[in-house]
Amino acid sequence: MKPKYVEELEQGFTPLTVCEEASRCLLCLDAPCSKACPAGTDPGKFIRSVRFRNFKGAAETVRENNALGAICARVCPTEKYCQLGCSRSGIDKPIDIGKIQRYITDFEESIGMDILRVENEDNGKSIGIVGSGPSALQASVELRKLGYKVVVYEKEEKLGGTLRLIPEYRLPDRIIDVEIERIKKIGVEFKTKVNVGKDISLEEIKNRHDAIIIAAGFSKGKCLDLFKNNDNVEIAFDFLKRIKECKGKEKVSNNILVIGGGDVAMDVNTTLKLLGCKNVTDVVYEEFCEFKASKKELESAQRLGVSIIDGYVPVEVNNKEVVFKHRVLDACLKIIADKIILAVGQYADVENLNLKLVKGEVNSKDVYLTDDPKVFVAGDLAHSPYDKTVVGGVRTGKEVAHLIDSKLGGKK
């Protein structure tokens, strides 16, 4: 069957195959997979639960450690994290940890388990969070569990931040909705269509709360000077968002040029193919050996027939015509396309939020702190040791929450 934009590309495990996969796990001592998960989801433990047929226990482990367990199961670049150090690789190949986690969280949802709990009584303190991406969501859960009142301010209509750009075939909107529903259930308050700095000032929300976390992420896609004011050009960020919102119900033209070689570019490539675009040509600055995109996303784009050309930089643009030069070789390339999509990075849009950015991040001496003792940062915006990924965001969310708790005096 032809794959569709609105259907998950990867099939989940069945009750039989999840047990088979869990049986491959060596049940390591001091499991390397658990150590390698930035969010501390503890795969070594939840795989062992599956092996011993304790599916509910497995769900508890995932959910208590990671409020975005079902999302991470689908979008984590596991080959860089838990699966990287998997001992089973010494025999054949790593355990498919993401897919086991997906089975567990699907199971959790199917039987309607309510795992998240507020463990401490309300402590009378209140935290405001700007943005509703992964770091904000995890921080909200962490703080709520500790007894804080939490209010999340999001400028968009939908909650989830950049998650709302990850295409449906990898991360259905429904999964994001379900995860956020769980968070609402433990009492986190969400205010949408509130742009902090515009609709309400930072000062105002600082007055309302004992501390503020700015988790505004990188919410704008970059444009290159060469392509400015060109009607044939769209930014990947906007394209992906629009397509996800309309659930792929858009006709695309038949000859589209994509520029960029990261995961966002691969998402654009695959999306275009799934929407029926005949010729997708992706020209990438990096050469194949230095590609930034995850192997899995690169492979799925290639499998669908995207032409990927590596090592070229755009040098001249004339409406629909782009001329590229090879970075090393004396070679030229001219492509004329119906439309050009730029996937060349994202940046933070933090006007009126009183933040000093260094190389696009809040680069303070201590991670998560800003010049204002009442204001903290998390997620992509923070200069943390973690990758700019969903799971990296979850980790910063946990850490910033505990940092705030320690500053505000812990439980009392």
Partner 1 sequence: MINKDLSVTFLGVKFPNPFCLSSSPVGNCYDMCKKAYETGWGGVVFKTIGPKSYFIDEVSPRFDKLNKESTPFIGFKNMEQIAEHSLEENLSDLRRLKKEFPNQVLIASIMGNDEETWEDLARKVEEAGADMIEMNLSCPQMTSHAMGSDVGTNPELCKKYCQAVKRGSSLPMMAKMTPNITDMVPVALACLEGGADGIAAINTIKSICNIDLEKKIGLPIVDGKSAISGYSGKAVKPVALRFIQQMRQDPRLKDLQISGIGGIETWEDAAEFILVGSTTLQVTTSIMQYGYRIVEDMKNGLMHYMEEQHVDSLHELIGLANKNIIPAENLNRDYIVRPTFDLDKCVNCGRCYISCYDGAHQAIVWDAEKRTPSLNKDKCVGCLLCSLVCPVGAISKGEITIKPNRKTKIEDIKL
Does 393 help bind ligand SF4 (rule: CB under 6 A)? no
Nearest alpha carbon to residue 253 among 231, 279, 282: 279
Whichever of 79 and 109 has its CB closer to ligand FAD, that residue is 79
Q: Which residue has the tokens 């609709």?
A: 199
Would you tell me which residues interact with ligand FAD (CB under 6 A)? Answer: 75-76, 130-136, 153-156, 161-163, 165-166, 195-197, 215-219, 240, 263-264, 267, 346, 353, 379-381, 388-391, 393
Q: Which stretch binds partner 1 (CB under 8 A): 15-23, 75-83, 250-258, 315-323?
A: 15-23
Residue 260 and residue 343: Cα distance in Å, rounded? 5
CB 249 within 8 A of CB 332: no
Per CB under 6 A, the list member of 5, 13, 21, 32 interacting with ligand SF4 is 32
- The DSSP call for residue 369 is B
Whichever of 81 and 239 has its CB closer to ligand SF4, that residue is 81
The letter for the amino acid at 310 is D
Whichever of 28 and 178 has its CB closer to partner 1, that residue is 28
Residue 391 and residue 79: Cα distance in Å, rounded? 13
Nearest alpha carbon to residue 227 among 324, 123, 304, 91: 324
Q: Which stretch binds ligand SF4 (CB under 6 A): 3-11, 23-31, 287-295, 386-394?
A: 23-31
**Number of C-alpha atoms within 13 angstroms, CB side, residue 226?**
16
Q: Which does 69 bind (CB under 5 to 8 A by kind): partner 1, ligand SF4, ligand FAD, none?
A: none
Does 289 help bind partner 1 (rule: CB under 8 A)? no
Residue 255 β-bridge partners: 279
- Mark 19-38 with x for binding to partner 1 (rule: CB under 8 A) and - for no binding: xx-xx--xxxxx-x------
Question: Least distance from C-beta 41 to ligand SF4, angstroms?
Answer: 12
Residue 291 and residue 293: Cα distance in Å, rounded? 6
CB 324 within 8 A of CB 307: no
Phi first, then psi: give them for residue 282, nearest 5 degrees. Answer: -115, 120
SS3 track for 78-107: HHHCCCCCCHHHHCCCCCCHHHHHHHHHHH
Per CB under 6 A, the list member of 37, 39, 41, 44 interacting with ligand SF4 is 44
Q: What is the binding site for partner 1 (CB under 8 A)? A: 16, 19-20, 22-23, 26-30, 32, 51, 87-91
Q: What is the binding site for ligand SF4 (CB under 6 A)? A: 25-28, 31-33, 43-44, 47, 86-88, 95, 97
